[in-house]
Structure 1
Amino acid sequence: MGREPPHRMRRSARLLATLRTSGWRRTLLMRRTAALLLAALALALALRPADAGSRGPVVVAARDLPSGTALTPADLTLATWPGDLVPAGVLTAPADGTGRVLAGAARAGEPITDVRLAGPDAAGRVTGRPGDAAVPIRLADPDVARLLEPGSRVDVVTPAPDGDRPVVLAADAAVLTVVAAEADTISPGQGSRGRLVLVALPRADAARVAAAALSEQVAVTLR
């Protein structure tokens, strides 16, 4: 084969000289880096959960709240959370929790869900019996409330008509919460009363205990 013409050789030499310059190498490196970054971004977008970018309102505790708090609007506030972090059953409006009783203590910023509030959901969760009802009883001895906490198991009793052994109204009731003292108001002239306690019971027992609590002294024995 013959040698290339001189003008082609000069053109090839100039091209090689250009490719060897630092400016060209820097441009090539920047293009490769940009291509890698774009590929990594595309992969991250492809792997991101579909709802990760969505955000939703979540009702959270506005301050540290003790167990048994009767919730007021000042106790609750709205926060915006990423959709994939919103827990199931969370309240989405403070009005949904106002007037309800907190079944367990909550820290400031903690989301308030349906099972954190005293009621059928909390009763079924504590006892494992979905049909259980939450029943408020006022203890004859207010000091007994200090011995109780959510999850405690008790028997609900009342004095026998003849003053003999107490009558067991319900066995193995689960304590949902003891209503906070500041929420348990006393009307003038009523004098000192026992603390209000919410217990979870099967519905047949719940009706009997609720009726007895209206007219009789009620106490609990710890299991």
Structure 2
Amino acid sequence: MPDIARVLRSLVPWLSRRPRPRRHIGRGILTATGVRRVLAVLLMAAAAVLAVRPASSAGEPRSPAVVTSRDVAPWRKLEPPDLRVVRLPRSALPDGVLTRPEAAVGRMLSGPARRGEPLTDARLVSRVQSTTSGAGDTATVPIRLADGAVAALLRPGALVDVVTVTDSEEGVRTLASGASVVAVTESGDAGPGEHDARLVLLELPTARANRVAAVSLSRPVTVTLR
């Protein structure tokens, strides 16, 4: 860092000179001159400090990033008005940030997002892998598993198969395959005699979601992890 005092002296040689004492008639002029010199010193010192400061990120290259244009709740499909593209400094971009809104439209968030939050691939719930061709409409169905401990193993985005017991020889029936876990409610809401009251929210094609919801009212259901 340069010697600021030396720079100032080279720019303004008279700063290093000692003012000559003046008589009564010049005392007012001497005081005004001293004030001006103090102000000049302060301004030049500020300029010197700014000159040696490290460069800011104003000139840093920027890249596109998809951010939320408003607060977005989880478990709801993202729509084009929910998203916008901005250019942010590369050093401020998180890993996996989305650059095109099309990558997020129609997907769900695993948690709430505030307006202006950059979206990454980790914030999106996995797409439903449907084995039925042409099944475009999906629905979210809440179910309570027969074994509540299984719910603790599930995470948003996991793919599961929903099964139940039957009176047939096989004793098991698959209600839906490739269901996507949207969310798992917190534990602690169990009532008397209930081992776990947490709900598992699954995204499925609408027809299968209706089937799972109906069967879960009369029979115990559980899931197998893929």
What TM-score comes out, normalization by structure 2 length?
A: 0.49
Higher helix share: 1
What TM-score comes out, normalization by structure 1 length?
A: 0.50
